[in-house]
Structure 1
């Protein structure tokens, strides 16, 4: 159906750009996988007399959600190591499990589980960082999800036994393999500044510029990490990254919790992007990010779920709600992060962070038709005073009923069209018997 004209009527359409709020009784016209028009439903029959018509009278039609930080395959470790501090979580549970089990098959099966969950939750694009990125890319393409996979740069990679230079060389081959794919792209994804020498930082900066690749990495995640780094180098990780040419519009700084004012200003002045993962930050006890302050300074802040091993689900509706509530508590200010700002973080801000704002993140003519339908007809969704507030504060991911990516329908009335749910469950059950608890 993606090559034909589709006419989707919603009770509301939430375009995100322009930021006019929800438009009652509007329709989205889709042709060739892209959005042709957004207009009042009463005008559709006159301007577009032909096409496949879908009536979604109890729904909000809105852009698909953009998950800007995931470790998709780690969904197979969901619940394996809960209620532990980050270093203990990593060193005693996650790293040993990875050494024992991570393989191309493990990543493919874990990524398929994550893609199904994200699709079911209205996420149409994700930005991943994990081993065997080619396997994750292959699965995402099969399912029909839009994604960016990270080219790994980590000394002594535990599952792959590669040095950073070898990893970069192999990663660039992966980049070349996917660079013309309509849904899949790549980023440079070193784990964090502490894993990088100055020379490797400079190499990454050059490759980022030469290949126009985003640089996706954990930055200032824990106070201990920042303190240790400053003791070793005399400056914060961000400041050293800046000296080596890594802080700019291509940087996607994940977590960014423990920032001094100078670091926050640096991110703003450089046009860098931050990905906020509120529920993972809370669960690992890593601290509270100053999101409202970053936004006030002009930093583009997006949302990520992190991996399901530290969250424990891939639900951006939950992240939106938590981000809005936390910002109010951190600033002792109920206006610090309004619902509309949280919704932008999960849609258009995420698209901007990935360099995809010309193509996704809002329902505008010419963009790809990455659309989700959210049912707000139930008891818990009434009354409808403010649909944006309803979506952020009172809507669950289970209210997503239908998903289109580039005009192709992947979820219809909560049923998968491109995922074999039974096969996914069987693969997960197989890994559960092999992964120790």
Structure 2
């Protein structure tokens, strides 16, 4: 008699009622398991086969849960968790120039950035987000905090045409960007991107320099653009060109461009983005709250443009809830397109996972549950009252699931959330720190 093969060793076996790998598209694997070793996915296979094939150091069994890739927040200003709710119900430029920038001018610094990101990481993990595309000042501090917490991030290297606490001149912005990039260029969790603020705050010369350096360093360019009708009108009045046409003239409309918001687009601009491989990050709740406009997600998707989802910052959203953001994105896309079939549930989930990973240049690492990728994974309990009866797993994830149903989170195979409780995070200290920032910010007088 031939002896049965010895089980293969693995670090972790996650058994789920349903595995939603995202790639292939719209597939749901019932009663499947994911085997993990050294932080990477070894195999995705039926649970019964997995138990026979692998001898795991740890097994997590979630028969009422869906296992999905970690959500990717493709546009965030995470230090702004500390500015949550301070200037609500205002249009973009009044909100930005009259409130946000003056308050930031009074408080921004390494301590503010570190504390805001620590609070954001806790919120994101509790909601199933395992990766973000960060856009703020003090990227050296950002990177260190993300690394310390074992959180995956693409950290923006800011460039803006006026002095800030981070840098005073164009040369200083670029010098410091180079230093941060060099420090983190080989890190397995944290990478960098150029993050020019917006077309209306960055000169042609600085955009051209960014284009050249982004090509040399092989990094994305993370940029707010076509956020409002006013931005587009002022660009045309001042320069005789819409912002996207100007960026194209400067050589920036290509597959490195991560274009955030994009609420004001012509048919020709949509086709240009499709041809050049531009990724569009849709931030529906921020756009709705600031009355900035509507991103034509249905048209972009039909044209073949990669769509990602972002929350924007807590000062304009006011949360980092990717489940809520993705649901809003799916519903809003239907209304804007006047088509109930536009941006269906599977497409929305893909945008919140693999679409975000592609925006960040991380598609080889995360965004789908495939052998060889990093084990950035989330278990979502679908056995709750709010998600019963369960007719269609992906539809339920997008249209009925809340972030409170996230029960387990791993990044590179390391547990970050267990049974809904953060691992190795002092929540009481986080809350106390948030309260002292509330007191400090409340004391600021706006002139």
- TM bucket, shorter chain: over 0.9
Q: Deviations over 1:211-263 (max 9, x none)?
A: 00100010100100110001111111111111111110110000011111121
Q: Deviations over 1:394-415 (max 9, x none)?
A: 0001110110000000111111
Q: Are positions 1:367 and 2:376 aligned together?
A: no
Q: Deviations over 1:48-87 (max 9, x none)?
A: 2444211111111110000000000001000100000111
After TM superposition, the runs of 4+ consecutive aligned structure 1 residues lying more than 4 A away are none
Q: Which residue of 162, 178, 181 corresponds with 1:156?
A: 162
**Over aligned residues, Cα RMSD in angstroms?**
1.2
- Report the TM-score, using the length of structure 1 for normalisation: 0.98
Which residue of structure 1 lines up, in the alignment, with residue 285 of structure 2? 279
| Counterparts of 1:332 and 1:423, CA distance in 2 | 47
Q: Are positions 1:17 and 2:10 aligned together?
A: no
Q: Which residue of 409, 414, 422 corresponds with 2:420?
A: 414
| Counterparts of 1:75 and 1:163, CA distance in 2 | 27
**CA drift at 1:41:** 0.7
Q: Are positions 1:106 and 2:112 aligned together?
A: yes
| Counterparts of 1:126 and 1:134, CA distance in 2 | 16
**Preserved contact between residue 154 and residue 163 of structure 1 (Cα < 8 Å):** no
**Preserved contact between residue 26 and residue 39 of structure 1 (Cα < 8 Å):** yes
Q: Are positions 1:262 and 2:268 aligned together?
A: yes
Q: Secondary structure at the match of 1:221?
A: coil
| Counterparts of 1:148 and 1:237, CA distance in 2 | 24
Which residue of structure 2 lines up, in the alignment, with residue 219 of structure 1? 225
Q: Secondary structure at the match of 2:379?
A: strand
**Preserved contact between residue 144 and residue 418 of structure 1 (Cα < 8 Å):** no
**CA drift at 1:20:** 4.4
Q: Which residue of 402, 407, 423 corresponds with 2:429?
A: 423
Say how many residue pairs are matched: 435
Which residue of structure 2 lines up, in the alignment, with residue 317 of structure 1? 323
Q: Secondary structure at the match of 2:442?
A: coil
**CA drift at 1:133:** 1.2
Q: Are positions 1:345 and 2:351 aligned together?
A: yes
Q: Which residue of 188, 197, 204 corresponds with 2:194?
A: 188
Q: Are positions 1:128 and 2:138 aligned together?
A: no
Which residue of structure 2 lines up, in the alignment, with residue 378 of structure 1? 384
Moved more, 159-168 or 121-130: 159-168
| Counterparts of 1:407 and 1:161, CA distance in 2 | 37
| Counterparts of 1:218 and 1:20, CA distance in 2 | 30
Q: Secondary structure at the match of 1:204?
A: helix
| Counterparts of 1:147 and 1:113, CA distance in 2 | 15
Q: Are positions 1:30 and 2:36 aligned together?
A: yes
Q: Are positions 1:327 and 2:333 aligned together?
A: yes
Structure 2 vs 1, CA of residues 273 and 103 (structure 1 numbering), >3 Å: closer, same or farther?
same
Q: Secondary structure at the match of 2:210?
A: helix
Which residue of structure 1 lines up, in the alignment, with residue 307 of structure 2? 301
| Counterparts of 2:399 and 2:225, CA distance in 1 | 29
Matches within 5 A, 1:81-96: 81-96=87-102
Moved more, 150-159 or 5-14: 150-159
**Preserved contact between residue 124 and residue 130 of structure 2 (Cα < 8 Å):** yes
**Preserved contact between residue 308 and residue 314 of structure 1 (Cα < 8 Å):** yes
Q: Are positions 1:356 and 2:362 aligned together?
A: yes
**CA drift at 1:117:** 0.5
**Preserved contact between residue 67 and residue 305 of structure 1 (Cα < 8 Å):** yes
**CA drift at 1:161:** 4.9
Which residue of structure 2 lines up, in the alignment, with residue 240 of structure 1? 246
- Report the TM-score, using the length of structure 2 for normalisation: 0.95
**Preserved contact between residue 10 and residue 54 of structure 2 (Cα < 8 Å):** no
| Counterparts of 1:29 and 1:16, CA distance in 2 | 17
Q: Secondary structure at the match of 2:33?
A: strand
Which residue of structure 1 lines up, in the alignment, with residue 235 of structure 2? 229
Q: Deviations over 1:188-209 (max 9, x none)?
A: 0000112222221111110010
Q: Secondary structure at the match of 1:125?
A: strand
